[in-house]
Amino acid sequence: MSLATQLARFTDAGITVTKATSLSKRVQDGSFPGIHAALKFEASLVGEWQLVHANVILFDSSASATGPVALNQIIARGNARPLVVAGCGTHAQFRAVYAADGGTDAVINVIGLDPNGELQLLRNRSGSLDCTLLRATTDLRDDSTTPTEYYTSPDDGQTFDLAGSMAIVVGVKTIASEVGTVEAKIL
């Protein structure tokens, strides 16, 4: 089954699928000046943050350890942004970017599409199928004097093993109490 055929399971009209940026791509396009361009391999040491979910106040997943993955429900909401990760790394790390400090934090599931076109719930480094995107008391902010965006601080709980997935999609299992987005980078 081709990657294009597999990704068709992740897409719906109007949904954009993004390809994760690999290290070799960034070397080739000059993002890492001074690194010899002959260094080409598909592994991202530190990927770039990319949007994978547009609105954490909307529930769009009933995925759980015991239930089926509700991918059609996720896609129908149009909040999930599938990310192609094939050949880009072995883990994905997630953070939330909130519009306000405090409140209830989102809980997410990460769903992978394996090389055979099957869906699988991915586990984080702590062994859990979901994670809470907790805001720490020392959130990273875009401006320390007048913060307008509050970032979570990723750790092992927010780092998921890609388990050979070709692409991933994030579903919100438990909504947040204020608007926010979810970003991913590939490790």
**Average pLDDT of the segment spanning 113-121:** 84
Give the Cα separation of 135 and 139 in Å (integer).
Answer: 6
Mapping DSSP onto H, E and C, the string for 118-172 reads: CEEECCECCCCCEEECCCCCCCEECCCCCCCCEECCCCHHHEEECCCCCEEEEEE
Output the pTM of the full model.
0.76
Give the Cα separation of 107 and 150 in Å (integer).
Answer: 16
| CB proximity list for 172: less than 8 A, separation 6 or greater | 53, 56, 58, 59, 60, 61, 79, 106, 107, 108, 182
Domain ranges of the chain: 3-11+43-89+101-186
pLDDT bin (cut points 50, 70, 90) of residue 44 is very low
Helices (H), the chain: 3-7, 23-28, 71-77
Which pLDDT score, from 0 to 100, does residue 47 have? 75
Token pair 């993004």: residue: 18
How many CB atoms neighbour CB 162 within 10 A?
A: 22
pLDDT bin (cut points 50, 70, 90) of residue 46 is low
Phi and psi at 185, nearest 5°, equal -135, 150
Q: pLDDT tens, 159-183?
A: 999 999 999 999 898 899 989 999 9
**Average pLDDT of the segment spanning 41-47:** 52
Helix (H) / strand (E) element for 18: namely: strand 18-19
Please say if the pLDDT value at position 64 is more than 60: yes
Q: Which segments within 20-62 are labelled E, that is strand?
A: 50-53
